[in-house]
Copies of this chain bind each other. A is one copy, B any other.
């Protein structure tokens, strides 16, 4: 960590900072320039105390040197992580598509969706049983009944199940049914929930929060990993910007950036990011071209009748078309589809 002292910082202030740093176990390198004095502090725990030091008189700014995450960092784990779930590998050679409706609405809807996505080549079924909705007056999900329907769809099709867990209270029941747990974007910094999910022995899809930097996203992964669950799949799903034509701004550059900074697999959810079905297929293609390990796509047997997110759901025909497109794209990138 480096501390830049104010240009008017007195010797006593500089000394106070040094004493404090040495107490904390840092080695000190002092550089006195004409305009500024700079204090380099080398040690293990830099990230724990950076912020406090800006409160000391004479300190202008504190510049962290090491990234604040370790377990999620590629620096400490050079090879990419491959997560095994059922007989699938996520983060390996094969690109997986998780698809299905926004919300589980009924037995008929879910089983129909499951068959459609299975036939087109998806390997994992998505569907929300507990739904975080902006309005208290919107459909909030079938809850445990929805989980049971997901299990039934799994039994019928062989697809694995990914579904969102919204809070610690319902985590046990969700974990009982799901193959992969999903932390929604709005819960990315629900640290209590992250700590609870860390104790479960199931992979976790961690969606990027709409106002989260890539570093904060990796810090959220660090929460889960530091609690003992190393099977974190990162999912880019758009950040909030001033552009309103799309629901969010899909930050596809985060895919190669995450691959550079971290060893964790990363997938992309273009449906939620964009909010309009028409643009889902080209951006799914682009996600693969950017290096994503998988996709999460909303598909509904009949989007017009959807209780949730109809406008962004692909019809069965559009989904089949997208999958054919992707197959060619995946090959070109040297990977495979199942």
Contact = CB atoms under 8 A, between A and B. Distances in A.
Interface of A: 2, 4, 7, 27, 29, 31, 33-36, 38, 40, 42, 47-48, 51-52, 54-56, 63, 65-66, 68, 75, 130, 132-138, 140, 166-170, 186-187, 189-193, 195, 209-211, 213-216, 219, 222-223, 226-227, 239-246, 249-257, 260, 273-274, 276-279, 282-283, 285-291, 303-307, 309-311, 313, 328-329, 331-333
A48 B134 CA distance: 11
A334 to B, nearest CB: 10
A200 B311 CA distance: 36
Given A40-B40, A48-B137, A135-B219, A191 B166 contact: yes
Contacts of A223: 136
B243 A239 contact: yes
Number of copies: 4
Contacts of A193: 167
A167 B189 CA distance: 12
Contacts of A187: 190
Given A36-B65, A286-B289, A251 B257 contact: no
Nearest to A70: B137
Contacts of A210: 211
